[in-house]
Amino acid sequence: MGGTEQQYHLTAGEIAGFLDADLAPAERFRIEAHLDECAECRDELAAVSGLAHSAPRPALALRRRLVRRWLPFAIGSALAASLAAFLLLRPAHVGPFQSREKLRAPDVREGRAHLETISPRPDSAITASRIGFRWKGSAAVLYRITVLTERGEPVWTADTQDTVIALPGTIALVPGRTYFWQVEGIADGIVSSTGYQTLRVRP
Amino acid sequence: MSPSVPDSLRALLTARDGDGRQRAWTAFLEEHTGFVLHGARHLGGDHDAVMDRYLFVIQALRENDLRRLRAYAADGRGKFSTWLLVVVRRLCYDHHRARYGRPQSSSDDAVARQRGRRQLVDLVSNELGLSELEARQEEVPDEALGRRELRGALTRALGELPPADRLLLRLRFEDGHSVPEVARMLGYGSPFALYRRLDKVLATLRRALEAGGVDDPRP
């Protein structure tokens, strides 16, 4: 689809099916093996993924039609009215990984300096008690540390002007579990970040 | 017709007469023109250039009795919006080639970037900290063979990974995409899930190197 098919190794359906997880397992395996070998197809996959992520939401008129047509049948009318208001009024351009918070979690490739971590090391397991975090300083007036569960749920957040901080005794991490932690350097916005680091707790 | 076909496309493909088809086409465009414009803007250029590409795409979608759209309806893999973005992007590159007569394409860009890419084995060895170990080994001339053995062991270990894991490493380290970007491409539910998978893959490679006689690939 588009030009001569011969110039593309994968069809539009295969690219779309791969991105939308809509392929049979054997077909996905075959396409993964091809993508592993083909930089050109990987570039196309990345470009389309980026386009899909930044694409506009369906037209408001369509949303209104969808709401009017389907919700009263799917659920009770009172709940349908509430959901209709939510669908019609929410902002149109919020992607799955975006946050509405002022200081949203950055991707370290978005032009912010990398903050180097000192401890804990990503390949070490730590005991659940007496967890300390250390990182190298940067041009920041404040550091914000966040600890999250494997599912990305926040466990603890704290601000410090130092480059070392201990997890309070009131925060109990579960032995045997994996968490993530991140430090962001703040100076008139987020200027640096460690990126998400793995935190393994000994059983 | 595939169940993933949106209503507006289904109505267009099943319209019986000229008036009905025109109304259905108008409704289809009303719903999807945003996606077509979004894809047309991807190649950059001023407003006129974008609108030229937009019109080219619209005409191409309509030609030969909606041939391209009928192909999606018969195939149905992936969401229609994703499929449409693939097709729009490809048509935009066709338009560029037709207008400027140059073989400018995404494949040309990919070839140029490929030449500048470092090999995956080098990038993964950096991630595993092999560079420091190799530097120490090079200080001892008799140990020069060890460096080749390390690389050979890592290359073999990479070759034994399933394609999905090698693809993850290539997207992340060779192509340089961020973790959230790779997570979206590969269908991981969150970047955290991808971080966990990445840790496991790197741990697998370390174990393979240790089994191959490298005591500790980390400095």
State both tokens at A22: 């809509």
Average pLDDT over residues B76-92: 94
Minimal CA separation from B205 to chain A, in Å: 13
State both tokens at B185: 């491409």
> CB count, 10 Å around CB of B141?
7
Q: What is the ipTM of this complex?
A: 0.86
Residue A164, φ and ψ in degrees, nearest 5: -145, 145
The pLDDT assigned to B70 comes to 94
* Cβ density class B72-97: b for 16+ within 10 Å, e for less: bbebbbbbbbbbbbbbbbbbbbbbbe
Cα of B58 vs its chain's centroid, Å: 24
User: B79, B85, B158: best mutation site toward chain A, by most A Cβ within 10 Å?
Assistant: B85
Per-domain boundaries in chain B:
7-112, 117-211
Give B106's contacts in chain A (Cβ within 8 Å). Answer: 40, 43-44, 47
The pLDDT assigned to A150 comes to 72
- CA of B164: which chain A residue's CA is closest? A32
- How are beta strands A132-135 and A117-119 bridged, if at all? antiparallel
| Model confidence pLDDT, tens digit, residues B112-158 | 555 555 678 877 877 777 665 555 555 555 555 566 777 788 888 89
Write the residue in A15, A33, A46 that is nearest to B86 by C-beta: A15
Average pLDDT over residues A101-125: 60
| CATH entry 1.10.1740 includes domain B7-112 | yes
Question: CA of A115: how far to CAs of A74, A138, A145, B49, B123, in Å?
Answer: 49, 7, 12, 42, 21
Residue B155, φ and ψ in degrees, nearest 5: -60, -45
Spatial separation of the C-alpha atoms in residues B86 and A20, rounded to whole Å: 12
The pLDDT assigned to A122 comes to 72
Domains (ranges, CATH) in chain A?
Answer: 5-54 (no CATH), 113-201 (2.60.40.10)
**Contact yes or no for B34 and A55 at CB 8 A:** yes
Cα of B70 vs its chain's centroid, Å: 25
- Looking at residue B218, its amino acid is R
Q: Which fold has domain B117-211?
A: Arc Repressor Mutant, subunit A (1.10.10)
Give A33's contacts in chain B (Cβ within 8 Å). Answer: 163
Query: Are A160 and A145 within 8 A, CB to CB?
Result: yes
**Contact yes or no for A46 and B177 at CB 8 A:** yes
- Residues 6+ away with beta carbon under 8 Å from B8: B24, B27, B28, B30, B31, B32
Report chain A's mean pLDDT, rounded to a whole number. Answer: 74
